[in-house]
Amino acid sequence: MVSLGVNIDHVATLRNARGTDYPDPLQAALIAEKSGADGITAHLREDRRHIRDEDILRLKEHIQTRLNLEMANTAEMLEFALKVQPYMVTLVPERREEITTEGGLDVLRFENELKQCTQILQDASIMVSLFIEPNPLHLEASQRIGATIVEFHTGRYCHQFDAQGHAPNELSALMQAASDAVAAGIEVNAGHGLNYHNVGPILALPGLVELNIGHSLIAEAVFAGLGPAVHRMKERLISMAL
């Protein structure tokens, strides 16, 4: 069955909006775990706009599942990851002016740098995932880098699906990319923009291991509570896999 990674970044966004110490991202992570999450994902951005260093340290100490640290490929972030030793690092692109991550890594342009970072993390026994577009050239570059896991960016699929109720072209690209990854011996994860309505077709991706979902769950939590929101998504993944 596909695992559910819950991204708690926007709990920290809400906390930081008023400069308080609540809501607590760690409390959110513990509720998510209790409600069926198989792992916790958090993006430590260079500008610390939501998750902060101390959040990651507390998550690493207290959660009972797996910590997936999303980060940019910078010397500062690499040093921090080696200190914290999360279960997995997902390398993502990052621009200060973006609202959220807007696409996959430019693995062709930064292949050498990503290869070096990936090797250092893997040598420290940290699993590494590359957040990439469902593009054959990017997948081939990821293979050359030495990636054993990729997370396919589902943003374009979700945008088209939510606007039209279906997204055949984007889904086809994801299906082919996942199939190619499996053939290359690379584990397949996916995420970005997924919600209760558009997640179903994504579950058919060949070799899919994990989905990382955040914003839609935190949004639903405003009305239903975080526990029920995560539980509902977990139940949806289970029921659609049967």
DSSP 134-186: S-HHHHHHHHHHT-SEEEEE-HHHHHHHHHHS--HHHHHHHHHHHHHHHHTT-
- 22 CB-contact burial (10 Å; exposed 0-12 / middle 13-18 / buried 19+): exposed
Report d(CA 113, CA 196) in Å as an integer. 36
pLDDT at 99 over 60: no
Catalytic residues: 43, 70, 192
pLDDT digits (tens, 9 = 90+) for 171-180: 999 999 999 9
Domains of the chain and CATH, by start: 3-241 (3.20.20.70)
User: How much of the chain, in percent, has pLDDT values that exceed 70?
Assistant: 96
Q: What is the pLDDT of residues 121-138, one digit of tens each?
A: 999 999 999 999 999 999
Give tens-digit pLDDT for 211-230. Answer: 999 999 999 999 999 999 99
Q: What is the overall mean pLDDT for the chain?
A: 95
Going by pLDDT thresholds of 50, 70 and 90, the confidence category of residue 70 is very high
Q: Cα(213)–Cα(3) distance, rounded to whole angstroms?
A: 11
Identify the DSSP state of 38: S
Which pLDDT tens digit goes with each residue over 137-168?
999 999 999 999 999 999 999 999 988 888 99
Question: In the chain, which ranges are continuous DSSP H helix?
Answer: 9-18, 25-34, 53-62, 75-84, 111-123, 136-145, 155-164, 168-183, 199-202, 215-224, 226-241
